[in-house]
Amino acid sequence: MKKDSIWKEYMALFRKFNKYLKPYHRHQLLLLLLLITSSAGALVTPYALKIIIDGVFQKGQYSDLVQILFMLVGVYILRIACTIFIEIIYTKVSSGIIASIQQDMVKCIMHKPIDFFRTTQSGDILYTLQSDVNNIQTSFLSNLVSYLIDLLTVIGITIMLLVLNVNLTVISLLLVPLIVFTLRAFTPLLQERFKKIQLENERLSNFFIEKIRNNRLIKSYNTYTHELNKLRSIHSSIVSANVRSAIISASNSSTLTFLVAIGPIFILAYGGKNVFSGTMTIGALIAYIQYLNKLYSPMVNITNGYNGFSKAIVSMKRVEAYIEAIPDATTPPLTTQDPACENICFEQVSLHINGTAILDNISLQFEKGKIYGLIGPSGSGKSTIINLLCGFMQPTSGKVSIDNEKSIHQLPGWHNRLGLVERENQLFHDSILENVRYGGVANSEEKAAMAIASAQLSGVIDKLPEGWHTMVTDTGGTLSDGQKQRIAIARAMARDNQLIIMDEATASIESLLEKKILEALREQYKDSIIIIVTHRMESMQLMDYIYEIEEGTVKYAGQPASFNFKKMTVTT
């Protein structure tokens, strides 16, 4: 890629992130004024020293010296005050910017299609959300403040150097092209190394999440040594990547430090000659050397800051994918113009993923007031039908419509109408009550209590020391799989749903309890559509209608009484 193209890419990237800076324009203006004041204060001391040496000591009085020293103390106090306010403003601005970026990322991630979560590892997402965003803060926002301070200092010092001696300044600036060349040579290498470190750290993040999630499996197979060896291998790769990066970074910094450090040597040689010839005073030379020494630190910081910006660009590119199209997180309320959901119809629906047919020209009809069963072997397409009903996916061809009017994707408030309960654990680190009320914060405790009773959970809660205020972890803590499933069922029953979907949601619940739950569902949701995915024959016999799905097609559609359950036990 050509350098001008890279520059354009960087500018486009910064413009995209500039929207996070816009709300803080007043803070930025105040910050700039404070930075200018602080940087100007840093320029006072060397010139004051020149005045003292060349003026006060030769022609002035002690009172003049005291007056200048008091002025210097006042300048130091002013700089301290500016530094404190700079830190306060920076902290407020950077924290707000990072919070906005993470909020937009979460909005984007939560609206990603289901396939995104199937193909993307949780550790990658988590690492980008935390480490990459934090790297933007440390390598860009923090660097930006330091960069501005150093840049203003360099500009101010350069002006003072020109005031003191133009020829010496020209000699000092001859090293600038070498510094720029060094930066351009090392920056691509640093970016490449940083990308490698990011990828290795992602592997580590994925490792931790995976092992925590599968701790029971690790224990049961006694694979502690095997997993520790994997961890050592990942750590070894990270150490190797960091060492290589450190070598490049140290080489870059050392080269720059050498180039900047030899400047005062030339200045002492040429300036000393001027002092001996009488064209420059000792005070002016001392002030010049002090300014030049003050120039050394900010110039090194600027060069190191450039490396920091390079790292930030890597992270900004990774974050960019999550903030390109931020969806509206608000859900429009239902209106009288929306369909009443008398029925849901699949009209010759097909769905293909990566060229593979998952559903092949199926037609289904679901009517309110009835319980439907979706049965069939694993991989037959049942979960895909659920995803289409929930609006998580769109068919390749055909239509999923409500009341033969609108497609599900034409109803923004559709998710307010449905309750989905799946087999997997669906708990949050909160009280049982708040887990039940999740998604319907306005639900009263009375409604939650009714849902808990209908889900046959009351007996469990009564035995807990804090009742429904008992805290549970996202893994369910000491609750059994069946109890966790009943909490999820109660959550769905605490909402006013026009569609209830239970995808193997009673797999860990005893048959008698399952029957009571289904009876409660039928009674509570007389005017709703209830769809249940199950392999239990006892459950199927409680349903009004059954669809058997096999290899993406409808193999059977009819009432349970006509279904061959004996054959079903073999196919599943």
pLDDT band at 345 (very low <50, low <70, confident <90, very high): very high
Does the structure show a pLDDT above 50 at 271?
yes
For 118, 206, 234, the CA distances from 124, given in Å and listed in that order, are 12, 7, 15
Residue 329 falls inside a structural domain: no
Residue 61 or residue 477, greater confidence = 61
Residue 545 has a pLDDT of 92
Residue 211 falls inside a structural domain: yes
For the segment 523-536, the average pLDDT, to the nearest whole number, is: 88
Residue 333 falls inside a structural domain: no
Same domain flag for 108 and 245: yes
Residue 395 or residue 124, greater confidence = 395
DSSP secondary-structure letter at 129? I
Same domain flag for 294 and 360: no
Contact 485, 507 (CB under 8 A): yes
Does the structure show a pLDDT above 80 at 413?
no
Same domain flag for 365 and 513: yes
Residue 223 falls inside a structural domain: yes
pLDDT band at 365 (very low <50, low <70, confident <90, very high): very high
Same domain flag for 404 and 484: yes
For the segment 453-464, the average pLDDT, to the nearest whole number, is: 88
How far is residue 402's CA from residue 498's CA, in Å, rounded to a whole number? 11
Same domain flag for 271 and 226: yes
- β-partners of residue 187 are none
Contact 338, 413 (CB under 8 A): yes
- Sheet architecture: strand order including 418-422: 418-422, 499-503, 529-533, 371-375, 545-550, 553-558
Same domain flag for 390 and 317: no
pLDDT band at 315 (very low <50, low <70, confident <90, very high): confident
Which range of residues forms the domain containing residue 523? 343-571
- Burial, 187: exposed, middle or buried (Cβ in 10 Å; 0-12, 13-18, 19+)? middle
Residue 543 falls inside a structural domain: yes
Residue 335 falls inside a structural domain: no
Closest to 241 (Cα-Cα) out of 187, 195, 203: 195
Same domain flag for 509 and 403: yes
Same domain flag for 186 and 98: yes
CATH number, domain of 250, equals 1.20.1560.10
Decide which of 323, 358, 386 is a domain's last residue. 323
Residue 442 has a pLDDT of 53
Residue 297 or residue 98, greater confidence = 98
Two tokens, residue 446: 């009375």
Residue 334 falls inside a structural domain: no
How far is residue 464's CA from residue 446's CA, in Å, rounded to a whole number? 19
Q: Average per-residue pLDDT in the chain?
A: 81
Does the structure show a pLDDT above 80 at 147?
no
Residue 249 falls inside a structural domain: yes
Three-class SS state of 359? strand
Task: Mean pLDDT check: name the lowest of 55-64, 287-296, 297-306, 555-564.
Answer: 297-306
Same domain flag for 208 and 355: no
H/E run at residue 552: none
Task: Indicate the pairing of strand 371-375 with strand 529-533.
Answer: parallel
pLDDT band at 341 (very low <50, low <70, confident <90, very high): confident
The single residue listed with the structure tokens 């061809």 is 397
Contact partners, residue 51, CB within 8 Å, separation at least 6: 68, 283
How far is residue 503's CA from residue 376's CA, in Å, rounded to a whole number? 12
- Alpha carbon 206 to its chain's center: 15
Same domain flag for 318 and 347: no
Residue 571 has a pLDDT of 41
- The CA-to-CA distance between both ends of the chain, in Å, stands at 55
Total domain count, the chain: 2
Residue 346 has a pLDDT of 92
